Structure 1
Amino acid sequence: MLDLPLMTYVATMSVTPGPNNIMLAASGVNFGFRRTLPHMLGISVGHGVQVVLVGGTVAWAMNWIEALRLPLVLLGCSYLLWLAWRQAQAGRPGNAGQARPLGFVGAALFQWVNPKAWMMVLNVAILFLPQGAGWAAVALLGLSCAVINLPCIALWAGIGDRMRSLLERPAALRTFNLTMAALLGATAVWILVDELPAGVLA
C-alpha cells in the first residue's frame, strides 16, 4: 500500500501549511517538542482513523458529502477561530501557568472538523482505494497514511522547538503567538469565504 504516488500525495498534503501545522509550530515554540508529542500523535492517529472510517464508507459518504460540507466547514472554521483566540492569549503576562499543549484526544478529534483533513482523506479514499476494497485494504491504507503523516507534521513541531531560544523575551513570544493566531484566523476566514455558496457574499 506504500506506493510512490500515495506517499507523495500524503507527504505533500501533510507537510504543507494548514491548521494542524500552524498549531504544531506554535506548540513547539510554547511547550517544546516533547510536550507536543501527544498533539502530533493525536493528529496522525486521528488522520489514520478518519481514512479508515471514511474510506470504508466512501460510496455512502460521497452521497452525503455535499449536504454535510457547509455544516462541517462552519463547525471547523468556528473551532479554528476559537483556537486562534486561544493562541492569541498564549504568552500574555499571567497566562504562563494556565497554558497547556493540545492533547492526543483533542488533536485526534480536531481532524473531523479540519477542512484540509477532510479534503485529504476523501481524495486518498477516491484515488488510492481499489474498487471493491475490503476492510483489510482500508485499514492498511489508514495505517500507511498515519505512518507517512507523522514525520511530516513532526517537522513543524521541531521547527517551533528550535525557535524557542529566539523567542525567550516575552515581547518576542507574544508577537509570535499573535502572528500564529492571525494565521489561524485568516485560514478560517479564507476557507469560509471559499466554501460559502456563490451569491452569499455578493
Structure 2
Amino acid sequence: MEQTAAMTLFALTMSISPGPVNLITLSTGLNHGARSALGFVLGATIGFTLLLLLIGLGLSAIATRFGYVIDALTIFGAGLIVYFGYRLLTSNGNLDSAVQSKPNFWQGAALQWLNPKAWGACVAAVGLFELDQSRLALYFFVCLYCIICFFGIGSWAVFGSQVEGFFGTPKRRALLNKTLGAILVILAFFLLYQQFFKAVGL
C-alpha cells in the first residue's frame, strides 16, 4: 500500500510539474481548446510510458553503454522544443491563423523520447521502485503512470482552455504565446547547456 502511494505521488509530481510538454499542452488548450490537445496529450502519455516500460526491461543499459545516443537525443529534442517555441513566438494571437499549427500525437510521443529529462525520470523510477527486479511491479507502475500522466498533462490543456476567456483578444493571446515560446526556447538551451557540461565532466 505504501509502495503504491509512493508510486502515485511520484507519477503525479512528474506528470503535472511544468516542463516543455506541459507548456506546449497549455498553449494548445489556450489557442485551440482542450479537445484539440487530446492527440498531443495522448502521444506524450504513450510515448513516456512506453519509454518507461522499455527502460524497465533494460533499455537504460544500452543508453549507458552508448552515451552518444543521449547526446543526440538531447540535440534533436532541443531542436523540437525550439521549433514549438518559435511557432509560439511568431504567433499573432489570431486563432484562425493557428489552426494548422496544432501539435499532434506523433510530436507528443517524439518529444518524450527526445527529452533527456524523460529518460532521467524513467531511470529514476526504475531505480527507486526496483522495477527491474519485478516484472509485475514494472507493469503495474507503467499502467498506473499511464493513467496519471494522461490526466496530469491533460490538466494543462484544460487550464489553458479555461483562461482563454481572459486572453480572449488576439493581443493578449499573442503576448502569452510569446511568453510561453520564450520559456520553451530557454528550456531547450538549458537542456543543451546541462548535457554539454555533463559530457565534459563539469
Distance in 1, matches of 2:95 and 2:133, equals 56
TM-score (norm 1): 0.87
* 1:48 matched residue in structure 2: 49
Structure 2 residue 155 is matched with structure 1 residue 194: no
Taking a change above 3 Å as real, the CA distance of residues 182 and 69 of structure 1, as seen in their structure-2 partners, is same
Q: Which moved more, 1:26-35 or 1:136-145?
A: 136-145
Q: Secondary structure at the match of 1:176?
A: helix
Residue 58 of structure 1 deviates from its aligned partner by 4.4
Residue 47 of structure 1 deviates from its aligned partner by 1.2
* 1:146 matched residue in structure 2: 146
Q: Which moved more, 1:15-24 or 1:147-156?
A: 147-156
Q: How many residues of Structure 1 are paired with residues of Structure 2 in the alignment?
A: 200
* 2:118 matched residue in structure 1: 117
Please list the CA deviations of residues 110-134 of structure 1 after superposition, one character each: whole Å capped at 9, or x if unmatched: 2100222111111112222345333
Structure with bigger helix share is 2
Q: Which moved more, 1:74-83 or 1:20-29?
A: 74-83
* 2:83 matched residue in structure 1: 82
Taking a change above 3 Å as real, the CA distance of residues 78 and 59 of structure 1, as seen in their structure-2 partners, is closer
Please list the CA deviations of residues 53-76 of structure 1 after superposition, one character each: whole Å capped at 9, or x if unmatched: 121114623532634232221121
Distance in 1, matches of 2:24 and 2:60, equals 32
* 1:6 matched residue in structure 2: 7
CA contact (8 A) 2:93 2:171 kept: no
Amino acid at match of 1:125: V
Amino acid at match of 2:174: R
Amino acid at match of 2:129: F
Amino acid at match of 1:26: S
Q: Which moved more, 1:97-106 or 1:35-44?
A: 97-106
Residue 24 of structure 1 deviates from its aligned partner by 0.7
* Matches for 1:170-181 after TM superposition, within 5 Å: 170-181=170-181
CA contact (8 A) 1:58 1:125 kept: no
Distance in 2, matches of 1:57 and 1:139, equals 14
Distance in 2, matches of 1:8 and 1:155, equals 16
Q: Secondary structure at the match of 1:26?
A: helix
Structure 2 residue 171 is matched with structure 1 residue 158: no
Distance in 1, matches of 2:54 and 2:131, equals 16
- RMSD of the TM alignment (CA)? 2.5
Residue 178 of structure 1 deviates from its aligned partner by 0.6
Q: Which moved more, 1:69-78 or 1:16-25?
A: 69-78
Amino acid at match of 1:89: T
* 1:29 matched residue in structure 2: 30
Identity level (%): 23
Distance in 1, matches of 2:169 and 2:197, equals 45
